[in-house]
Structure 1
Amino acid sequence: MTRYKCTDNTLSRRALLITTALFPLASLAQPAVTVEVWKTPTCGCCKDWVKYLQESGFQVKVHDVQDTSAIRRRNKIPDDYGSCHSALVEGYALEGHVPAREIKRLLRERPAAVGLAVPSMPLGSPGMDGPAYGGRRFAYDVLLISHSGGADVYQKYH
């Protein structure tokens, strides 16, 4: 059996096989999407939503602010659709307790829109669904906010 000496310019057959086998896996790995969140420092449901996003595979960068209304205006979310925290993800605004499933759908579909909102703080939405809320759940809508300031139902939750 002939042995080949590995030099700086050649790969051993084993190294070549390992590299070839792992290359498809490396191409599948995608960096986590970052969601940037503005919330007040004492809001428990905001902290729960951040934790929920992290558990759903997002990286989260948190900014504690005293008032989120300026961020909401900067993100072009009308006050009628306001909630307790505002966020940005890949150029889209997120307002309130938006489910991760709809964020991922938004990023897949890429509609011409400002972003998504779950107005108010509906019980049963992500971050408003823990034991502290007694397991109560209310129906709510995830709204797709248009550039004109209007909104359409993007997804209903019952």
Structure 2
Amino acid sequence: MKIKGLTSAMQRLAVLATLATASLAQADAGELIDVYRDPNCGCCSKWIAYLRDHGFTVNDHLEANMSPLKAKLGVPEKLMSCHTGVVNGKFVEGHVPVEQINELAKREDLAGVAAPGMPMGSPGMEYGNRRNAYQIVGVKKTGEQVVVSDYPAQ
């Protein structure tokens, strides 16, 4: 990267700052997430590995019955998936990417986010290069649902 008017030392600092910012965007998580999952689900383990790879500390909870937890957190039935994460009292339902988990922390209006169903190509659901289109849905504290991110098919 060459920036007009900067010395080579300043150029190196600019590149280092860019690299540091890029890695912080992935690991700005660095926070604790509790994940509740069925002990027999393999994709849940893959999502947990993905979270750890992106800087989260994960408390893995095996649950035989997820329904009471989902109800307590206010996860709408149509958005339910195989596992539920909890970050600072907010729910993360299903195969949600790190970017939306980090955004959730900044959104006072949201009670949680969800990746409805089990979208092929979402974190933990990677099989080859195929990715189905999917959305990340935010649930406001009022219960209103809003799309916070769209992922196109590949």
Whether these two folds match at TM > 0.5 is: yes
Aligned match of 1:9:
none
Separation of aligned partners in 2, 1:156 and 1:65: 30
Separation of aligned partners in 2, 1:79 and 1:145: 12
> Aligned in 2, Cα 1:110/1:148: closer, same or farther, shift over 3 Å?
closer
Aligned match of 1:54:
52
Aligned match of 2:134:
140
Tell me which of 81, 84, 94 is aligned to 1:83. Answer: 81
The answer on whether the counterparts of 2:29 and 2:56 sit within 8 Å (CA) in structure 1 is: no
Measure how far apart 1:67 and its partner are.
2.3
Larger Rg over CA atoms: 1
The answer on whether the counterparts of 1:34 and 1:60 sit within 8 Å (CA) in structure 2 is: yes
Instruction: State yes or no: 1:118 paired with 2:101.
Output: no
Instruction: For structure 1, list consecutive stretches of 5 or more residues without a partner in the other structure.
Output: 1-29
Q: Give TM-score, length-normalised by structure 2.
A: 0.76
Q: What amino acid does structure 2 have at the position aligned with 1:35?
A: I
Separation of aligned partners in 2, 1:100 and 1:81: 18
Instruction: For structure 2, list consecutive stretches of 5 or more residues without a partner in the other structure.
Output: 1-27
Separation of aligned partners in 2, 1:67 and 1:52: 24
Measure how far apart 1:148 and its partner are.
2.9
Segment drifting more, 146-155 vs 90-99: 146-155
Separation of aligned partners in 2, 1:55 and 1:142: 21
Separation of aligned partners in 2, 1:127 and 1:63: 17
Aligned match of 1:93:
91
Measure how far apart 1:31 and its partner are.
9.1
Q: Give TM-score, length-normalised by structure 1.
A: 0.74
The answer on whether the counterparts of 1:39 and 1:46 sit within 8 Å (CA) in structure 2 is: yes
Separation of aligned partners in 2, 1:54 and 1:31: 10
The answer on whether the counterparts of 2:29 and 2:54 sit within 8 Å (CA) in structure 1 is: no
Aligned match of 2:144:
150
Measure how far apart 1:152 and its partner are.
0.4
The answer on whether the counterparts of 2:104 and 2:110 sit within 8 Å (CA) in structure 1 is: no
Q: What amino acid does structure 2 have at the position aligned with 1:124?
A: G
Please identify runs of 4+ aligned residues in structure 1 that moved more than 4 A.
none
Measure how far apart 1:106 and its partner are.
1.8
RMSD between aligned alpha carbons? 1.6
Measure how far apart 1:150 and its partner are.
2.5
Q: What amino acid does structure 2 have at the position aligned with 1:91?
A: G
